[in-house]
Amino acid sequence: MTNPLYDTLIGERAGSAAPLLHLADGTTRSYADIAALAARFAGLLRARGLDKGDRLAMQCPKSSEAFALYLACLQAGVIFLPLNTAYTPDEIAYFVGDATPKIVVADPDAAAALQPVCDKAGAALLTLDDKGQGSFVEAAEGVSPMTDVAECDTDDLACFLYTSGTTGRSKGAMLTQGNLLSNAQILTETWRFTGEDVLLHALPIFHAHGLFVACNVVMIAGASMIWLPGFTVDGVLDALPRATTMMGVPTFYTRLLDAPGFTREAAGHMRLFTSGSAPLLAETHERFRARTGQAILERYGMTETGMNTSNPYDGERRAGTVGFPLAGTEIRIIDEKSGEEAPRGQTGMIEVRGPNVFKGYWQMPEKTAEELRDDGFFITGDLGRIDDDGYVTIVGREKDLIISGGYNIYPKEVEQLLDAQPGIRESAVIGVPHPDFGEGVVAVLVAEDAPAPDLIAIRAEVALRLANYKRPKHYVTVPELPRNTMGKVQKNALRQTFDGLFSDANASRKRAGA
């Protein structure tokens, strides 16, 4: 193949009239329609001087045109950088400055705020809205479609995804064609996707889950998607009768379970529900099974690796676990004290090796060397264990990374903003179990003696500076933060203190009839 990922996903069906996207307005876009749209967009990229290895950043609403832009980048050999639509201009400035894309495609509503960011980085700014309209589409109308496909191999870069740790700046994970292709092929086989499947797609496409897991799997199988703009209970319930499968995050399932219309009759025909991007509470798993007669299939993945494990399609989908390593992926648990592989049942650091593991961090060779071992294993930072039956359980993270609603949150970023606010001496940001989001962000504040902190003003400043999913859902003030003898803040102690915060609040709401 001249371009393994593009050819497998769409090139082999570029002339097919089979449906790919079922849109909310009742229309359908075939594989041929999307391939033609991608070719036109790829022609624009070439006309604007983007060559193989150049970058394009996209921060715009979900649309069939935004999806086609991803495929256009593959066709042109351009590295695709999807960015969360909730990011503020301050946050975008870092990503654009680090990845140096030649073009940034953004929502027209954000164009004025992003223009100075793009000007500083030397990037052209074009727009694309939720209706698939904007200056990007207008510019593409005046160029010839790209008729060839960029020569690429499995080791060529396809995408950057920025991830966060607990120290230092955000890291651009470099994902190759081979990373994305091998992972999607294994998932297609593991989850038994065929051309008869219709995936209910309510996920965003700036995230690996919605784009690389959902879309790539569907295209490899020759299946189709019900293309919802986002998740709403009513929207999903309306689409369910036409779907065979659904991929979601725990929030989707908790909200569906709160809806009287989500019954065994409504869900009984579905072949598969999967969950990922955040921990699925065992309680949610059991409630879903009791309500629908079906067991959600939970799996485990990371930005740097794609999917690593999955509960079985056939066999027990064990609540509280993420199943078994995928075919071709190796998982080992390392005892951090001895550095040796831990015995079954013992908790240690999860390490992963396989064709799904990323190439490294963009312009961060030292960080890459820290997290990728010489033997190819990636140190995930997650703590887990493998039981006697081979099921993997994630028990926590060595680092303080918070995952809320499937999105990574870097606590230090929030803490730095909080520490700069009037009346705040210091802060600690933690994640604690949340019934909807997996983890909810809690800001633990230590106040100055005077004046008292104005929490209303602090919330307003946080809302201005940070994407919604990063904002604390609860603020609490304490006399001092717990520390060890070396002066390090003990976040484990804080997590224990506030462990039941959101479950207690949820229970109180239910008792009050809220």
What is the crossing angle of helices 111-121 and 89-99, to 10°?
A: 30
Predicted local distance difference test score (pLDDT) of residue 487: 52
Query: pLDDT by residue (tens digit) across 304-334?
Result: 999 999 999 999 999 989 999 999 999 999 9
User: Residue 194 has what pLDDT?
Assistant: 98
DSSP letter (8 states) at residue 194: -
Please give the residue range of the domain that contains residue 331: 198-397
Q: Which of 364, 397, 430 is the C-terminal boundary of a domain?
A: 397
Q: Are residues 406 and 504 in the same domain?
A: yes
Q: What pLDDT is attached to residue 1?
A: 58
Same domain, 366 and 456: no
Can you say how many angstroms the Cα of residue 84 is from the centroid of all Cα atoms in its chain?
Answer: 9
Q: Does 309 lie in the same domain as 238?
A: yes
For residue 128, give Cα distances in angstroms to 59, 60, 201, 332, 513.
Answer: 9, 6, 20, 43, 42
Are the CB atoms for 356 and 376 separated by under 8 Å? no
- Indicate which CATH number applies to the domain containing 211: 3.40.50.12780
Q: Which CATH number do you get for residue 409?
A: 3.30.300.30
Low-confidence ranges of the chain (pLDDT < 50): 165-167, 485-486, 509-514
- The sign of the dihedral angle between the CA atoms of 73, 189, 175, 438 is positive
**pLDDT value for 485:** 45
CB distance 474 to 504 below 8 Å: no
Same domain, 427 and 392: no
Strand bridging mode 272-275 / 245-248: parallel
- In 3D space, the residue among 297, 138, 101, 306 whose CA is nearest the CA of residue 213 turns out to be 306
Is 161 inside a domain boundary?
Answer: no
Q: How far apart are CA 133 and CA 107, in angstroms?
A: 10
> What is the tens place of the pLDDT at every residue in 145-185?
999 999 999 999 999 999 854 445 789 999 999 999 999 99
* Cα–Cα dist 399/165, whole Å: 7
Omega before 451 cis (within 30°)? yes
Q: What is the 3-state secondary structure (H, E, C) of 20-81?
A: EEEECCCCEEEHHHHHHHHHHHHHHHHHCCCCCCCEEEEECCCCHHHHHHHHHHHHHCCEEE
Residues 241 and 385 in one domain: yes
Q: Decide: helix, strand or coil at residue 371.
A: helix
Distance between CA atoms of residues 373 and 514, nearest Å: 51
pLDDT for res 506: 59
80 with 159: CB under 8 angstroms?
A: yes
CA distance 32 to 17: 6
In a domain, 278, yes or no: yes
**What is residue 507's predicted lDDT score, i.e. its pLDDT?**
52
Question: Is 172 among the domain residues?
Answer: no
Shared domain for 306 and 214, answered yes or no, is yes
Q: What is the pTM of this model?
A: 0.84
The answer on 497 and 406 residing in a single domain is yes
Q: Is residue 177 part of a domain?
A: no
Count CB neighbours of 264 within 10 A: 11
User: Of 118, 152, 186, which residue sits at a domain end?
Assistant: 152
63 is a domain residue: yes
Joined together, the tokens standing for residue 511 give 């008792």
Which of 361, 377, 397 is a domain's end point?
397
> Are 147 and 221 found together in one domain?
no
Q: Are residues 10 and 140 in the same domain?
A: yes
How many distinct structural domains can be found in the chain? 3
Amino acid at 512: A
pLDDT tens digits, residue range 264-306? 999 999 999 999 987 787 878 999 999 999 999 999 999 999 9
Residue 510: the pLDDT is 47
In terms of Cβ atoms closer than 10 Å to its own Cβ (0-12, 13-18, 19+), residue 141 is exposed
Q: Is residue 252 part of a domain?
A: yes
Q: Is residue 297 part of a domain?
A: yes
Domain check: are 387 and 411 in the same one? no
Is 183 a domain residue? no
Instruction: Report how far residue 376's alpha carbon sits from residue 188's, in angstroms, rounded to the nearest whole number.
Output: 25
Do both 141 and 209 map to the same domain? no
CA distance 243 to 196: 10
Q: How would you classify the pairing of strands 245-248 and 330-334?
A: unpaired
Dihedral angle sign, alpha carbons of residues 133, 139, 141, 145: negative
Q: Is the domain of 39 the same as that of 118? A: yes
Residues 6 or more apart whose Cβ sits within 8 Å of residue 275: 247, 248, 249, 250, 252, 253, 296, 297, 298, 299
For β-strands 348-353 and 330-334, DSSP reports them as antiparallel
DSSP state letter for 352: E
| Number of alpha carbons in the 13 Å side-chain half-sphere of residue 467 | 20
Element (H, E) at 334: strand 330-334
